[in-house]
Structure 1
Amino acid sequence: MTQHLTERDVRGIAEYARIGLTEDEVSQMTVDLNAIIDSLEPITQYDLEGVEPTFHPIGSLSNVMREDVEMPGVSQDVALENAPKQQDECFLIPSILGEGGDR
């Protein structure tokens, strides 16, 4: 098996991804990632002479989002009509910090 990544590389990747790894995990991850890279080696065997690169699998699709159209919102009365508790035209919810009670 070829050594594509070193343990130092794996530590850098883990730090970048904010993943805490022990020394044993770094060693195992180095072996695993190198095995994954080796498993991709057959891709290099394809003859790609004259094949144009593809930048998007669906071709020239540029925007799949709908137009941003302004629509009427929900009125405050409708938004509050199913609230278990309300006060001063606002939702009244149990406090999760501090001394308790509704806020």
Structure 2
Amino acid sequence: MTQHLTERDVRSIAEYARIGLDADEVVQMTVDLNAIIDSLKPITEYDLDGVEPTFHPIGGLSNVMREDEESPSFTQGEALENAPKQQDGCFLIPSILGEGGDR
């Protein structure tokens, strides 16, 4: 098996994703991710000369979104009416990124 990712890479990825991994998990995750990458190696062996790149599996589609339209909505007060916490006209929610307190 080729070493595509190092344990340092895995620790860095876990930190970005805010996933706590102990030393054993880093080792196992490194082995597992490198095995996954190795399993994709056969894809690189296909002869794709002359094959046009495809960006969408169904050809001819461009923007399939509808036009933006204004429609009735809640006022700020109505939207905040049942909020458990609010501050300065905004919803106040618990922090989920490791910083204490509400945001």
What TM-score do you get using the length of structure 2 for normalisation? 0.65
Q: Distance in 1 between matches of 2:11 and 2:52?
A: 36
2:10 counterpart residue number: 10
Structure 1 93/2 Cα, relative in aligned 2: closer, same or farther at 3 Å? closer
Query: Over aligned residue pairs, what C-alpha RMSD do you find?
Result: 3.0
CA shift, 1:94, in A, is: 9.5
Amino acid at match of 1:63: N
* Residue identity matched to 2:50: G
1:38 paired with 2:38, answer yes
> Is 1:48 aligned to 2:75, yes or no?
no
Matching of residue 20 in structure 1 with residue 30 in structure 2? no
Structure 1 residues 68 and 4, CA gap change in structure 2 (3 angstroms): same
Deviation (angstroms), 1:14 = 0.8
Runs of 4+ in 1 over 6 A off after TM superposition: none
Query: Shift in Å at residue 53 of structure 1?
Result: 1.1
Structure with the greater alpha carbon radius of gyration: 1
Q: In 2 relative to 1, CA 12–60 (structure 1 residues): closer, same or farther, beyond 3 Å?
A: farther
**What is the CA distance between 1:44 and its match in structure 2?**
1.3
Percent identity (aligned) = 76
| Corresponding pairs, count | 84
Change in 2 beyond 3 A, CA 1:70/1:14 = same
- Matched AA of 2:64: V
Matched residue type, 2:68? D
